[in-house]
Amino acid sequence: MIKHRVIHAIEQTGLIAIVRGIEPESVLPLAEALYAGGVEVIEVTCNSTRYLESITALKMKMGDKMKVGAGTVINPVMAQLVIDAGADFVLSPDFNPDVVSMVHEKQRLMIPAVMTPSEILQACRLGVDLLKLFPANSLGIDYLKEIQGPLDNLALIPVGGITLENTASFAQAGAFAVGVGSALTNKQWVKDGEWEKITRQAEAFIRAFLDNKHR
């Protein structure tokens, strides 16, 4: 089942690379650079230019190597569009039961954003496998630790303000993986064609997470 393969890929690498505001023409070389650095899971946000085109292109060219997802999905119509474009999984910036149900009907992995214990439990009751903790840097490392006290066995993916410097701390605090945007898919590096720099940064993020992963 595709959702189990996505979960496995996220767990193996500890990383989702978030692509936001990158033109479709640059998305493929960016994905190649990320893959060369060990990234197996990539997310194209729906507030990016021609995002459906990017998702389809990634699935066609990189679908045998990478799991391709769509982020910033805020309603069921958008969820249907990205799944039709080829998305293997869907992420949202909030917890919307209608989006969760629709994505599950299509047998795709749904990763909604949660912040409070109530949202976390509601998502779990709907059968959500992975949860996006957002905004992670604002909530902090201690929040991640404390929320897992009464709610253990959660698979939480911190997103928002993730850097190379705080990735190790989130890993040690029990994160399932991290979602990394501008600190990895840097727009200026993409514009300048600094593909090797992106590859090295990807390697560094994966190493920082896996070397410090809570056992």
Q: What pLDDT does residue 180 have?
A: 98
pLDDT of residue 121: 94
Note whether 30 and 187 are within 8 A (CB): no
pLDDT digits (tens, 9 = 90+) for 132-181: 999 999 999 999 999 998 887 889 999 999 999 999 999 999 999 999 99
Token readout for 213 is 């992963």
How does the average pLDDT of the chain come out, rounded? 96
Distance CA 57, CA 24 (A): 8
Q: Where are the alpha helices (DSSP H) in 14-130?
A: 24-36, 51-62, 76-85, 97-105, 117-125
pLDDT, tens digit (0-9, with 9 covering 90-100), for 26-50: 999 999 999 999 999 999 999 999 9
What pLDDT does residue 214 have? 77
* Residue whose tokens read 């989006």: 99
Q: Helices (H) and strands (E) in the chain — how many of each?
A: 11, 9
Kindly report the pTM of this predicted structure. Answer: 0.97
Residue 141, phi then psi, degrees to nearest 5: -60, -45
